[in-house]
Structure 1
């Protein structure tokens, strides 16, 4: 059980008791609250002014499921239960919180010694004023959930997989050139190349180069190191860029909008007879997937 002070008002139940000191005189050894609902169940709070066994100098409080008929043999859950006592002097609540398990055999939980009557009745503490005391309650049912499963496989000492393409009529491709789908690490991929750059860039200044995952299963993620190359067949020069990325089932492509300027392609001999020669090297480093 934990104890703290809070300004928050209890959300499930507020009980105002007038002439609190008269409990014993009236022959009331316990008092049950009205039923309140929380987590698809009805609950009641019981105050024992002289303790649970009737011979104690401490106040006891218990909670129980009022509609036990709603419980089945398979019913089994936990609930966070909070009991409040209003401090009228400080305008705050002292809260007492615990977690309990409930099922068809265990429908009741409580605190046998929540506060001593001496502490409660002492006017300097602020809990009772003009013989009036205010209690509160909250019950938060923790729904039973099955955790999702995930399996992560780290790939060590893997061999990079290379794919090469020759793109003819480079200058005549208006929007995007897309490769055929290919497999690396049992996953499909595709290369997208924009000879005149993506729409957000000045048209005709850059060549944009991307790798796109294709048809990944739901909840699949693949971490890969990707090296993208453009090669000159005339002088053997190569322009390369590398990145690491977690590719997902969303199919979002990843690469370089400004892979190379068109002017540099022409000056460096990367275009031969209007053909462009590109290569992608993929090294799969990790695979995360749903584990059912």
Structure 2
């Protein structure tokens, strides 16, 4: 009995020791992780300057471990990288500063804002924080933003999507470093400013060795703003099937005396639009002089309008409704207004004249179309091209 109690006590002690060891290990790991983060945050410029020193042709700063910003007007929380270089200067707006260091030291609020410029029906300004935007946790960095004038948004409160590119000229490569997003940015009444809080460190920019300042501390930076026009042109294409009245029949009287080049039926409404049948009694194209030509044509087609039609064209046997009519299937796209679908050699003259086939009875020819499938396209606006 005593031995059993002793064993229980030993097991309990062992479990208690293991528990405290686990707690101690977890706390030690958390402390080490916290210390690592703090060390990286307290020395954010060391890596940037070391890399710039080793590679002066590309003095861009890698992403560091800065915490996310709580600001609403920017979503960039890490150091921006120049994704390209170009010789052409900014096409929207450019600012040249005669003395970058003096400007940085003279700004009471740390911000330099350009004169307004107009793009896409809105007024914009280019904003630089030479020593960083503290509200974006970017102290010690050069911050660049573009801001839309909210007065133009009040008059027309719609979202504005703009493609933004920032530029800083570098004399070492004689090109503009370009900072841009791959997606257009959304501006509205509650989000009027966007940019990069961490473009480059202030210490790197003001150092002539890196090529940003030149000729006595001059600096050139700028922006391109492209505002996409409002989305107002589109088309909707759908396939129409199972028509309420899929067939239309037309009779041509006095067929043997028809001497015009072609004849058309009355307009009829099917598949969401008006149509007509077109007959060439003496043939059209390769059917001229040997065959009757037959077409189905859509009314009021627009330039470049593409339509698909699957339908059956027939010359009816009027003596026997159960016999095989002269029938051909159209199944294709057409983008030629007024041409329609059909066949220049639909039925030969010899078959038409054969009274036993019943195609012409009492000097009347009867033709028919049966709709099987058709694309219906709506355009917005209805008239796109002149």
TM-score for both structures, normalised by structure 1: 0.73
1:58 partnered with 2:141: yes
- Cα distance in 2 for partners of 1:286, 1:57 equals 62
- Cα distance in 2 for partners of 1:139, 1:21 equals 27
Conserved? CA contact 1:77–1:143, under 8 Å: no
1:190 partnered with 2:276: yes
Which of structures 1 and 2 has the bigger CA Rg?
2
Residue in structure 2 matched with residue 241 of structure 1 by the alignment: 328
The verdict on how the C-alpha distance between 1:41 and 1:53 changes in structure 2, with shifts beyond 3 A counting, is: same
- Among candidates 68, 89, 98, match of residue 9 of structure 1: 89
Contiguous gaps of at least 5 residues in structure 2: 1-75, 382-386
The verdict on how the C-alpha distance between 1:201 and 1:124 changes in structure 2, with shifts beyond 3 A counting, is: farther
Q: CA deviation at 1:194?
A: 1.0
- Cα distance in 1 for partners of 2:196, 2:276 equals 64
Residue in structure 2 matched with residue 38 of structure 1 by the alignment: 119
The structure that is helix-richer by fraction is 2
The verdict on how the C-alpha distance between 1:238 and 1:73 changes in structure 2, with shifts beyond 3 A counting, is: closer
- Among candidates 289, 292, 313, match of residue 204 of structure 1: 289
Q: Deviations over 1:170-227 (max 9, x none)?
A: 45322112223344446443211012234x668534432111234689xx99754211
The verdict on how the C-alpha distance between 1:144 and 1:290 changes in structure 2, with shifts beyond 3 A counting, is: closer
Q: Deviations over 1:74-123 (max 9, x none)?
A: 52322333211223344443222354443444433332112223554566
Contiguous gaps of at least 5 residues in structure 1: none
The verdict on how the C-alpha distance between 1:108 and 1:277 changes in structure 2, with shifts beyond 3 A counting, is: closer
Residue in structure 2 matched with residue 281 of structure 1 by the alignment: 370
Conserved? CA contact 1:222–1:284, under 8 Å: no
Conserved? CA contact 1:188–1:216, under 8 Å: no
1:163 partnered with 2:244: no
Number of residue equivalences: 287
The verdict on how the C-alpha distance between 1:258 and 1:94 changes in structure 2, with shifts beyond 3 A counting, is: farther
The verdict on how the C-alpha distance between 1:170 and 1:109 changes in structure 2, with shifts beyond 3 A counting, is: same
- Cα distance in 2 for partners of 1:156, 1:92 equals 64
Residue in structure 1 matched with residue 129 of structure 2 by the alignment: 48
Q: CA RMSD in A?
A: 4.3
Conserved? CA contact 1:195–1:204, under 8 Å: no
TM-score for both structures, normalised by structure 2: 0.58
- Among candidates 143, 164, 168, match of residue 81 of structure 1: 164
3-state secondary structure, aligned to 2:260: coil
Residue in structure 2 matched with residue 113 of structure 1 by the alignment: 198
The verdict on how the C-alpha distance between 1:185 and 1:138 changes in structure 2, with shifts beyond 3 A counting, is: closer
Conserved? CA contact 2:93–2:224, under 8 Å: yes
- Cα distance in 2 for partners of 1:17, 1:26 equals 13
Higher RCO (Cα < 8 Å, 6 or more apart): 1
Q: CA deviation at 1:238?
A: 4.8
Conserved? CA contact 2:237–2:375, under 8 Å: no
Conserved? CA contact 1:154–1:287, under 8 Å: yes
